[in-house]
Amino acid sequence: MSFLHYWRAMWGIIGRELWRFIKQRERFISALVRPLIWLFVFAAGFRASLGIAITPPYETYILYEVYITPGLVGMIQLFNGMQSSLSMVYDREMGSMRILMVCPLPRWFLLMSKLIAGVAVSVLQVYVFLAIAWGYDIQAPWQGYLWVLPALVLAGLMLGALGLLLSSFIKQLENFAGVMNFVIFPMFFMSTALYPLWKIQESSTLLHTIALYNPFSQAVELIRFALYGQYNQTAFIYTLVAFIIFMSAAIVGYNPSKGMMTSKKGAE
C-alpha cells in the first residue's frame, strides 16, 4: 500500500466531513449558537460579579465571561466529538460505514482519519467563536491565538476519540440521548469549564476531585493556558494519555472479531 493511497483515503474522509459541515449550514450555526448563548446569556448574568480571583494563567482579575470562554471552546470540541460519534452511528445505519471499513487500509488508520476530520471541523468552529468573542471584548494576547492551535488539536483528538469509543457502544441513533445525559452533561458541568477548581472545592470536595480528574477539565485547562501563551504540562500529559487510552479502546471496539459490536450481537 503506497503512501499516496493512505493520503488519498485520508483526504477523502476529511474532505467529506468538511464538505458535510459546510453544506449543513444549520449544523454550523447551531454549533456556534450553543456556546454563544452560554457566553451572552449565562455568563452575562455573572458579569456583575466583581471579578474572579487571580488564578494562573491569568495575571489579573477577570470578568466571568473571560473565564468561561476557554470552557466554551472545550464545549464546542466536546459536542463536536459527540457529533462525530453520532455520525458514525448514522453511517453504520445507512451502510456507508461498511464501504469505509472494507477499504483495504488498516482500521486504525481509517478511524484516525475520521477523527482528524472531526478535529478539523471543531477547530474551524472554535476560531469563528473566538473571533466573535473578540468582538465582545474577550481578547487574549494575539500570540495566544497561534499557541491555542496545537492545544485545540490535542483536545479535539481526545474528545473525538472518546466519541469514537462511545459510538462503538451505541447501536442505534436513538441511544444518543443517553450519551447527552450520561456523558456530555456530566463531563461539562463537573469540570473547570464553568468554575475554577478552588471555587468547586468550596462547595464540595467530591465534586472537586471529580473535576480534577475529569479529562475534559484537563483539556479545557490546556486550552486556557495556551490561549494566554502558557504551557500547562500536567494538562498536556493528562490529555495525551486520555487520548491514547480512548483511541486504543475505540480501535479495539471497532474490531469485528473482538469489538463491542460482537459482544452486543451476542447479547441480542
Applying CB under 8 A, the span of 60-68, 124-132, 215-223, 241-249 interacting with other proteins comes to 60-68
SS (H, E, C) 137-189: CCCCCCCHHHHHHHHHHHHHHHHHHHHHHHHHHCCCHHHHHHHHHHHHHHHHH
For 89, 90, 100, 102, the CA distances from 95, given in Å and listed in that order, are 10, 8, 9, 11
Among 15, 40, 51, 94, interactor with other proteins by CB under 8 A: 51
The 70-99 contact track toward other proteins, x by CB under 8 A, reads: ------------------------------
Among 22, 54, 99, 180, interactor with other proteins by CB under 8 A: 54
Which H or E element spans position 81? helix 64-94
Q: Is residue 2 near other proteins by the rule CB under 8 A? A: no
Rounded (5°) CA angle 177-85-155: 110
Q: Is residue 157 near other proteins by the rule CB under 8 A? A: no
| AA identity, residue 41 | V
Among 50, 102, 177, 267, interactor with other proteins by CB under 8 A: 50
Among 4, 26, 41, 48, interactor with other proteins by CB under 8 A: 48
Q: Is residue 18 near other proteins by the rule CB under 8 A? A: no
Among 9, 39, 43, 63, interactor with other proteins by CB under 8 A: 63
Give the closest residue to 92 by CA, choosing from 176, 1, 7, 161. Answer: 176
Shortest distance, CB of residue 198 to other proteins, whole angstroms?
15
Alpha carbon 150 to chain centroid, angstroms:
13
Q: List interacting residues with other proteins (CB under 8 A).
A: 47-48, 50-51, 54, 59-63, 139
